[in-house]
Amino acid sequence: MPERRENSEPILEVRDLAKHFPLTQGILFKRQIGAVKAVDGISFDLYPGETLGIVGESGCGKSTVAKLLMNLERPTSGTVRYKGEDITKLSGRALKAVRRNIQMVFQDPYTSLNPRMTVGDIVGEPFDIHPEVAPKGDRRRRVQELLDVVGLNPEYINRYPHQFSGGQRQRIGIARGLALRPEIIVADEPVSALDVSVQAQVVNLMEQLQDEFGLSYMFIAHDLSIVRHISDRVGVMYLGKIVEIGTETEIYEHPTHPYTQALLSAVPVPDPETEDGRERIVLEGDVPSPADPPSGCHFRTRCWKAQQRCAVEEPALALPENFADTLPEQPVHHPSACHFAAERTAVIPPSSR
Ligand SMILES: Nc1ncnc2c1ncn2[C@@H]1O[C@H](COP(=O)(O)OP(=O)(O)O)[C@@H](O)[C@H]1O
Ligand code: SF4
Ligand SMILES: [Mg+2]
């Protein structure tokens, strides 16, 4: 919950982080003809024990952010500070030490687990890289403990991934992520490939493990509804940028950015009467290419509120001018990258239509 943040320093501080992949032409003489701006200057903090949800359509740069945090990609610019130290500049032993504390859980438990390795070898593999965590003679017991922690029968230790269901395989991936007792888990769409009925079970397990081990989560998803329950705060991404960030209440009940409002208008509401009277915002056109993003506001080619100013002036992710005199405890008081940020009546009563 947000209270967790009040008395603590961030465990991770991300500032102006960018990753531009060069676009090249020619075979013998490669020349750079442009760049895919996968991540284009994003900043956020992650606090101990908190879950920060990151949501956005496919291709908006979520996985690239995850890889930058894990130091699996080097940023074009910007910094990632873990407990105050910029980890993007680390290498060798110092990098290895930090990596132990930041682990990843991947989207697809089918391809991220080696089919020829037993579950015991998969979950215990991080101990090969960090033998100091579990001495050889103790590993089998440690792996069985981890299987138990994620709700799998410890006797399955010699089985292979194909002998498990999708949900069970994701539990194996989570057990592996926990092996080194990390402080941070970056989960890149951990339930997107699972059946809807299994998604909630895996999310619940992750919440339970968070409390048990005091973990901080970055929970990435392409759907706002999946992260709502687990997230303390949510950041919404569009074309390499965070466009709005705030607490669960701020984002889901009082969104002020047109893109967040459009995404939320597509989430079904359980109450049929409310559902009936709701106005859906249908976004026209496709997401532009990150190799050639629109000038000014990246969202302007699909925004129904766009004006001349939006093409020339890029909106910063900050408290919008409109809400400058609101109090911090008011839910509209949160960063939103829009020149014309405003609350929108999410539900239109049928009588007034
Ligand atoms: N290694 C790479 N080289 C070139 N372009 C890449 C690379 N990785 C990702 N991209 C591009 O960067 C953009 C963001 O990708 P990604 O971070 O995977 O988005 P998401 O996870 O939100 O779907 C996409 O346009 C993708 O094609
Ligand atoms: S800045 Fe302009 S184009 Fe961008 S979201 Fe706001 S109104 Fe739409
Ligand atoms: Mg992805």
Same domain (yes/no): 264, 244: no
Q: In angstroms, what is the span from residue 18 Cα to ligand 1's centroid?
A: 12
Under DSSP, is residue 71 helix (H, G, I), strand (E, B) or coil? coil
Q: What lines the ligand 1 site, CB under 6 Å?
A: 21, 36, 38, 56, 58-64, 290
What's the rounded mean pLDDT across residues 161-173?
Answer: 93
Whether 297 has a pLDDT exceeding 50, the answer reads: yes
Least confidently predicted of 221-225, 273-277, 291-295, 335-339: 273-277
Question: From the CA of 288, which ligand is nearest?
Answer: 1
Q: What is the mean pLDDT of residues 88-100?
A: 92
Q: Give the closest residue (by CA) to ligand 2 atom 6.
A: 338
Looking only at the bridges linking them, the beta strands covering 184-188 and 12-25 are unpaired
Calculate how far, in angstroms, residue 304's C-alpha sits from the geometric centre of ligand 3: 27
| 224 alpha carbon – ligand 3 mean position (Å) | 15
Q: Whose CA is nearest to atom 3 of ligand 1?
A: 21
Model pLDDT, residue 349: 43
Same domain for 64 and 185, yes or no, is yes
Q: Is a pLDDT exceeding 50 seen at residue 346? A: no
- Spacing, Cα 349 to ligand 1 middle (Å): 41
Both 238 and 266 in one domain: the answer is no
Minimum mean pLDDT range among 42-56, 209-223, 288-302, 337-351: 337-351
Count of domains for the chain: 2
For a ligand 2 pocket test, name from 259, 281, 303 the mutation site with the most ligand atoms within 8 angstroms of its C-beta.
303
Structural domain ending residue among the three candidates 253, 277, 311: 253
Give dist(CA 223, CA 80) in Å, integer.
25
Q: Is 328 exposed, middle or buried (0-12, 13-18, 19+ CB in 10 A)?
A: exposed
In the prediction, which pLDDT does 266 show? 82
| Alpha-carbon distances of 159 from 74, 150, 162, 353, rounded to whole Å | 36, 16, 8, 59
Ligand nearest to C-alpha 296: 2
Single pTM value for the model: 0.92
- pLDDT for the residue numbered 120: 95
Domain range for residue 242?
3-253
User: Looking at ligand 1, which atom is closest to the CA of residue 57?
Assistant: 22
Cα–Cα dist 185/166, whole Å: 20
Residue 325: pLDDT above 90? yes
- CA-nearest residue for atom 13, ligand 1, is 38
**Residue after which a domain boundary falls, among 253, 285, 310:** 253
Ligand nearest to the CA of 192: 3
Q: pLDDT, tens digit, for every residue of 5-18?
A: 556 899 999 999 99
pLDDT of the residue at 2: 44
Rounded to the nearest angstrom, the distance between the alpha carbon of 165 and the centre of ligand 2 is 44
Q: Who surrounds ion ligand 3 at CB < 5 A?
A: 62-63
353 C-alpha vs ligand 3 centroid, how far in Å?
Answer: 39
% of the chain with per-residue pLDDT over 70: 92
Which ligand 1 atom sits nearest the alpha carbon of residue 56?
A: 22
pLDDT band at 273 (very low <50, low <70, confident <90, very high): low
Atom of ligand 2 nearest to the CA of 305: 7
Question: Domain end: 253, 280, 297, which one?
Answer: 253
Three-state DSSP class for 172?
Answer: helix
Residue 225 and residue 211 share a domain: yes
State the CB neighbour count (10 A cutoff) for residue 285: 7
Q: What is the pLDDT of residues 23-57, one digit of tens each?
A: 888 888 888 888 999 999 999 999 999 999 999 99
Same domain, 23 and 151: yes
Backbone angles phi, psi at 278, to 5 degrees: -85, 145
Quick one: pLDDT at residue 29? 82
Who contacts 126 (Cβ-Cβ below 8 Å, separation ≥6)? 103, 133, 176, 179, 180
**152 and 282 in one domain?**
no
Pair (297, 246) in one structural domain: no
The closest-lying atom of ligand 1 relative to the alpha carbon of residue 64 is 17
- Say which range, 130-134, 176-180, 336-340, has the weakest mean pLDDT: 130-134
Region of poorest pLDDT, from 27-36, 156-165, 272-281: 272-281
- Residues 206, 259 share a domain: no
- Closest-CA residue, ligand 1 atom 12, reads 38
| Averaged pLDDT for residues 110-120 | 87
Q: Are residues 208 and 297 in the same domain?
A: no
Closest CA to 189 of 221, 230, 227: 221
99: domain CATH number is 3.40.50.300
Both 236 and 285 in one domain: the answer is: no
> What's the pLDDT at 31?
84
Tell me: do 157 and 213 sit in the same domain.
yes
Residues 217 and 153 in one domain: yes
How far does the centroid of ligand 3 lie from the alpha carbon of residue 219, in Å? 12
Average pLDDT, the chain: 90
DSSP letters, 88-127, are: GG--HHHHHHHHHHEEEE-S-TTTSS-TTS-HHHHHHHHH
